[in-house]
Every structure is written in C-alpha cells, then in structure tokens.
Amino acid sequence: MDNTTRAGDPGRPLRAVQISSLGTYVPPRVLTNSQLEQMVDTSDEWILKRTGVRERHIADDDVATSDLAIEAARRAMAGAGVTAADIEFLVVGTTTPDTFFPSTACLVQDGIGATHAWGFDLGAACSGFTYSVTTAMQMVASGVHEHALAIGADVMSRIIDYQDRTTCVIFGDGAGAVVVSPAKDPELRILDFAHEVDGSGGPALRMPAGGSRLPASHETVDQRLHYVHQDGAAVFKFAVRKTSEICRRILDRNGLRPPTWTSSCHTRRTAELSWRPREIWTCPKKKSSSISTASGTRPARPFRWRWRMPSPTSG
C-alpha cells in the first residue's frame, strides 16, 4: 500500500495525514428522559426504544456555539502537543453559529489566539464534523498547512421545539475537535473518505424559516418555523440504506475485508438509527458509541472515537 492519502483520484500524490488528537466538551447541565416526561408527551421507555438516548447536555442561556468549540479546540491542541500559534487553518461545522457573520470560526480563532490561522464555517447539518475533517485533511495533505483544526459544535437546544417529541428527545449541545497533521507513521493515517448528498431529501430534515427564502416574521415565529422539522421515517430509511452502501464502497476500493474493520465514524444520527453490522459483514462488538449520554449534537460528533488501521486483504 502506498504512503499517500487518497481522496478518490486526486491526480497527484498527497501527504499522508493523521488525526493527532481529539478534544470534546459538553456543557455540564443535563436534561434527562425523566425531565422530558414532564415537558412533552413521552416516556423514558419510548425514548430509549427509539433512540437509545438517556440524557442530553444543554447549554446555559449565556453559552453559545463558539464557547463550546473553543473548549474542545483547546483540549485537542493540548492532546496534540501544539499551541495556537501552530494552527494555520480551522473549520467549524455547525448548524447553530453564534451569528451569520462573523463566522463562528473567526470567533474561535480569536478565542484560542490562533493569530496565524484562517478558516470558515461549514454548514452541512449532521455531516458537519465529518465534512470538516475531510476539509482539514485536504489542507494538510496538499502541503499548504502543517496543522489544522476541524471542529464540530452546536447548541441544538436553541432550535429544538420542546413541544415536538419527535425531535426534542434526540438533540443536545456539545462540541468536538481534532488536530489534523502530517502523519508521523504512514501506516497510521487517514486512508480514505467518502461523502454523498441527495438534495431531494431536504424536506425530510430542515429548519423552514430564517433564511432568504422565508425570513423571520411574526408569522414564521407563530408557526414555529424556526425549529428543526423532521420526517423521522424518511430519515431512518435513508440512513439505513446509505450507511451500508457507503461502507461497502470505501472498503472495496481500499481492498479491505469488513472483519478487519475495528471502528467507524458516522454522523451521530446515522449511528443511532442505522447501525446494521450484518449488512456489512462485521461484528456488533466492534461498534463504539456514546449515544445514551451524548445525544444528538449534529456536527459535534466525535464524543467517543477509537480507531486502528485495518489490515489489507493481502499480506
């Protein structure tokens, strides 16, 4: 196996890239299923059966997405043994930015003192963190930057309707960050990635108002259109189908056997709804999850990651 980081067929060699460290942060306040029973027509049993969630972390009123992201970034940098001066690029995957502008990435850059870094926000909803890691990986793999921060952070509680039991039981607040650097050991690197979108599914998971299509008004507020709206059945079916497809694709093109796969990184919603080990011929015990306590933080996925390079089919 060669020592380049592969992203489909880039047409030229790229540097091998590694995730040097992981940092996570959740606000201390917890909202339990028992508490939700007092707020909406639901039960602990109903929530556990459908989501696996026992509790979710909720930010205080004076805490914003950038505050969570800054804490996670500091922990990631400490784990990697780098300082803010070493960070040259950062990307923040978020659905709940502090403001439309300045970007949350700019606020994080200032908050951690990364004066040599540039960056931006990435809006990809549940996929925000995984997209951010891919973006940071390419910045380092190309040789443009040595160290990059990929962050996923959200205060989902600000856009969740606590009168809607189909969404309020799922989502919580938190942040995760990784430092991406050139790989010291080419065998311990980000080997490949695969992403896919289907824009036709937009109506199944959306926040209808607040953008240029439907700006905020008394009418949109009265109709509760600034909250997350979800067609749970449609999201479930899509997640089940696409997770197995994309896992097969990335394993096949790298010549890997599913039984050698020891862990994976999904969007949290996908991991919750669609873990089907039998569909990709791997063992259920390989799954690593923190769903019961981390809940759904959309882009802020990496609350519990364990990884090891799988073995190629030959050798």
Q: Tell me which architecture the domain covering 199-288 has in CATH.
A: 3-Layer(aba) Sandwich (3.40)
Strand-pair category, 89-93 with 148-155: parallel
**What pLDDT digit, counting tens, does each position of 137-175 carry?**
999 999 999 999 999 999 999 999 999 999 999 999 999
Whole-Å CA distances, 260 to 206, 298, 312? 37, 28, 8
Tokens for 291, please give them: 């769903």
Domain range list for the chain: 17-182, 199-288
Task: In whole angstroms, give the CA distance from residue 100 to residue 102.
Answer: 6
Tokens for 290, please give them: 């923190």
Residue 260 has pLDDT above 80, yes or no: no
* Average pLDDT value for residue range 222-240: 93
**What pLDDT digit, counting tens, does each position of 29-69 carry?**
999 999 999 999 999 999 999 889 999 999 999 999 999 99
**More confident call, 113 vs 260:** 113
Residue 246, judged by CB atoms within 10 A of its CB (0-12, 13-18, 19+), counts as middle
Task: In whole angstroms, give the CA distance from residue 260 to residue 310.
Answer: 5
Paired strand residues for 174:
154
Strand-pair category, 148-155 with 173-182: antiparallel
Burial letters 179-216, b for 16+ CB under 10 A, else e: bbbbbeebeebbbebbeeeeeeeeebbebbbbeeeeee
Is CATH 1.20.1560.10 the classification given to domain 17-182? Answer: no
Alpha helices in the chain, H assignment, sequence order:
33-37, 44-51, 65-80, 104-112, 128-141, 165-168, 218-222, 232-253, 268-274, 291-294
How many CB atoms sit inside 10 A of residue 40's CB? Answer: 14
**What pLDDT digit, counting tens, does each position of 179-222 carry?**
999 999 988 899 899 998 999 999 999 999 999 999 999 999 99
Residue 120: closest CA among 91, 141, 148, 99? 91
**More confident call, 90 vs 195:** 90
3-state helix, strand, coil in the chain (%, to 5): 40, 15, 45
DSSP category for residue 257: -
pTM value?
0.84
